[in-house]
Amino acid sequence: MNVRLALTSPPLSLNERYGAFVGAANTQSAFGLVCLAAIACQAGATVGIVDASAENLTIEHTLNRIFALNPDVVGITSTTVGITVAGLLAERIKASKPETIIVVGGCHASAIPIETLNEFKAFDILVLGEGENTLLDILKSVEEQKSVPHNICGTAHRTGSTMAINPSRPLIQNLDDLPLPAWSLLYGFPKMFRPSPARIRQWPCASVVLTRGCPNSCTFCDRSVFGNRCRSYSPSYAVNLLKDLRNNFGVKEILIEDDTFIMSPKWVNEFCSRLITDKLNISWSCLGRADRMTSDMAKIMHKAGCWHISFGIESGDEKLLKTTNKKLDIKQIRSAVDFCKAAGLKTKGFFMIGFPGETEQSISLTRNLAISLPLDDISIMQLTPFPGTEMYSTAHLHGQFERDWRKMNTLNTVFIPDGFSRYDMEQARSTILQDFYFRPRIILSHIVNMLRHPHLIFPMLRSLFTLFRVLFRKNNA
C-alpha cells in the first residue's frame, strides 16, 4: 500500500486538561493509536505516530512532527475536551498542505458526527465506531482515488456544504485477528509516559484495553464507539500482549483501562492463571464494576500480580444510582471493596457530584459512603453530560448546562443541577475530598506507601501538594 499515514492526538496542554489539578497531571500513551498504526502497517502503509497529548506538545511542535512525516492522510483521535484543538490542528494542516486528507475518530466524532462536521470545516471524514477496518478501507480508497472517500461504511463525510452518514460497520467479532499494537512507533516509549503515582508501583509502564463494548446503560456514559456488547481478546492473546510489552519494551507495570475487564469471571480466571503459570513478573491495576467482583476473583487477581482496582461507585444515594441506570446497590459496593481488601488489593472509588436530581441529602450520602468504605483513594468528578449520552440531550431540563466542549473534562463544572450554584458543586467536591484525605488512616497509608516505593516520593508529594492547594483555594473562595 503506497500511502503515508500520520496518526495523532490533539495537542491539548496539561493545563487545558487538568486546570487547577495540573500539578497532579499524568500522561499516558494512547492505546487506540498504536492499535490503528499496527493494522495500517500490516497492510503496507507507511505510518508515524505523534501522540501530542501524551507528549504535551504545542500545536507548532505537533505540526512540525506531522509535516516531517509528509503524510497523505492525517488521522486524529479525540475526546470531547480535545475536539476544538483537533479542529484547529486540522485547519493549520490544511492551510499548509490543503491536499492532505484529515480523518477524525474517537468518542466525540462517533457520538455527534453531523454536529462535528458542521463545527469543524477542516475535517474531511469521520470514523464512527470501531476504527481498524474502517481506516483500512479509507487508506485503500485514498490510494486508488487520491481523494476523500465518500462511500466507506462506518464513516460520515462532507461533500461541499452537504454532510452524510454512511451505513454502520459491523463490529470486529474476533479481536485476536488484530495485530499486536505498534508500540515502537511511540516516541520515547515507554519511559516518557507518566501516569498517576497512585496507580503504579514500578517504572516503566503502559496502558492497555483488553475488552471492548459495555452491556450496561448508565445515562452518563457513551457507548457509540464500541457498542453495547462486551468483546474481549482471548486470555492467551491478552497475555501475549503483556509479554510483548515486558520482553520487548521492558515494561514492568500495566494499567488495564477498560471498565468491563472483570465482566466475565471465567475470562479473568483464565487470564490470571496464565499470568501465574508464565511467571511474567509484572504488576498491574485495573477498573471494575462492583457487582462483578467476588472473593475468589480478588484472590486470583492478587496472586497474578494485580495490586490495585478502581470501582465506579458514583453516588451514595441509591435513588440516584437507579435513576442513572447504574444498576448497583450499596451492599454490592461494600462487598466488592471488602473482598478486595481481604485479598490484599488496594482500592479506589470514583464518585461524581452534580447529578440531575442531586440534593444536599444525596451529597451527604455520597460523602458518608466514601468515608465509611475502606478505600485507599477516591476521585470526585463533576457530572459531565458528554455527547452521545442520554444526559446530553436532557440535562437542560434539570439544571444549567454549559455546552462548551473545551471544558468537558469532568473537573470543570459544566452542569449545575436545579437548586445549586456552581460554588455549591465545587465546594461539595472539595469537602468530600478533604473529609476523606485528612484522616490519620489515609495520611499514614500514603506515608507508608512512599517509604515502600521511594522512587515515587516526588510524584506523590506533587500530587498531594496539588490537592492541598486546590482544597485551600476552594475553602477560601
**Lowest-pLDDT range, 4-18, 51-65, 79-93, 279-293?**
4-18
Domain containing residue 138: 4-165
Same-domain check for residues 280 and 413: yes
Question: Taking 50 as the threshold, does the pLDDT of residue 475 lie above it?
Answer: no
Angle of helix 422-437 relative to helix 457-475, nearest 10 degrees?
A: 140
Which residue's C-alpha cell is 505510518?
47
Q: Check whether residue 22 and residue 135 sit in a common domain.
A: yes
pTM given for the model: 0.92
Please say if the pLDDT value at position 474 is more than 60.
no
The larger pLDDT score, comparing residue 371 to residue 202, is at: 371
**CATH number for the domain including 50?**
3.40.50.280
Residue 375 has pLDDT above 70, yes or no: yes
Is 268 a residue whose pLDDT tops 50?
yes
The per-residue pLDDT for range 418-438, each reduced to its tens digit, is: 999 999 999 999 999 999 999
pLDDT band at 403, cuts 50/70/90?
very high
- Looking at the structure of the chain, the number of domains it has is 2
Look at residue 36 and give its three-state secondary structure.
helix
In whole angstroms, what is the distance from residue 427 CA to residue 434 CA?
10
Residues 157 and 214 in one domain: no
pLDDT band at 18 (very low <50, low <70, confident <90, very high): low
Q: What is the pLDDT of residue 347?
A: 97
Does residue 301 form part of some domain?
Answer: yes
* pLDDT interval class at 29 (50, 70, 90): confident
Q: In whole numbers, what is the pLDDT of the chain averaged over residues?
A: 91
Instruction: Report the C-alpha gap between 54 and 186 in whole angstroms.
Output: 10
How many residues are present in the chain? 477
Q: Is 181 part of any domain?
A: no
Cell numbers for 6: 500520520
Report the pLDDT value the prediction gives residue 476, as an integer from 0 to 100: 44
Question: Is residue 189 in a domain?
Answer: no
Q: Return the half-sphere exposure (C-beta side, CA atoms, 13 A cut-off) of residue 434.
A: 14
Using pLDDT thresholds of 50, 70 and 90, give the confidence band for residue 473.
low
Rounded mean pLDDT, 337-348: 97
Is residue 144 domain-shared with residue 202, that is, in the same domain?
Answer: no
- The mean-pLDDT minimum among 29-33, 95-99, 247-251, 417-421 falls in 29-33
Q: Count other Cβ atoms within 10 Å, centred on residue 322.
A: 12
pLDDT given at position 477? 44
Indicate if 258 and 338 belong to the same structural domain. Answer: yes
Give pLDDT, residue 194: 76
Q: Does any domain span residue 416?
A: yes
One domain, residues 70 and 150: yes
Same domain, 11 and 51: yes
Nearest-angstrom CA–CA distance, 346 and 10: 33
Q: What is the mean pLDDT of residues 215-222?
A: 88
- The number of C-alpha atoms within 13 Å of 417 and in the hemisphere containing its C-beta is 21
Query: Is the domain of 157 the same as that of 218?
Result: no
- Per the listing, cell 491536499 goes with 99
Note whether 204 and 340 are same-domain residues.
yes
Listed range (74-88, 234-248, 376-390, 457-471) with the worst mean pLDDT: 457-471
Helix or strand (DSSP H, E) at 380: strand 377-382
pLDDT tier at 227, thresholds 50, 70, 90: confident
Q: Are residues 360 and 223 in the same domain?
A: yes
Task: Identify whether 120 is part of a domain.
Answer: yes
Q: How do strand 211-212 and strand 205-208 relate by DSSP bridges?
A: unpaired
**456 occurs within a structural domain:** no
How far is CA 462 from each of CA 148, 198, 402, 465, 469, rounded to the nearest angstrom? 47, 12, 31, 5, 11
Same domain for 402 and 278?
yes
Instruction: Provide the pLDDT for residue 453.
Output: 74
How confident is the model at residue 26, as a pLDDT? 66
| Per-residue model confidence (pLDDT) at position 332 | 96
Check residues 317 and 198 and name the one with the higher pLDDT.
317
Phi, psi dihedral angles at 292 (to 5 degrees):
-100, -15
Give the separation between CA 427 and CA 33, rounded to whole angstroms. Answer: 37
pLDDT at 463: 67
Query: Residue 398 domain-assigned?
Result: yes
pLDDT band at 452 (very low <50, low <70, confident <90, very high): confident
List the CATH number of the domain containing 426.
3.20.20.70
Q: What angle do CA 321, 324, 327 make, to 5 degrees?
A: 50
35 domain residue, yes or no: yes
Please indicate, yes or no, whether residues 160 and 11 belong to a single structural domain of this protein: yes
Q: What is the pLDDT of residue 468?
A: 66
CB 68 within 8 A of CB 26: no
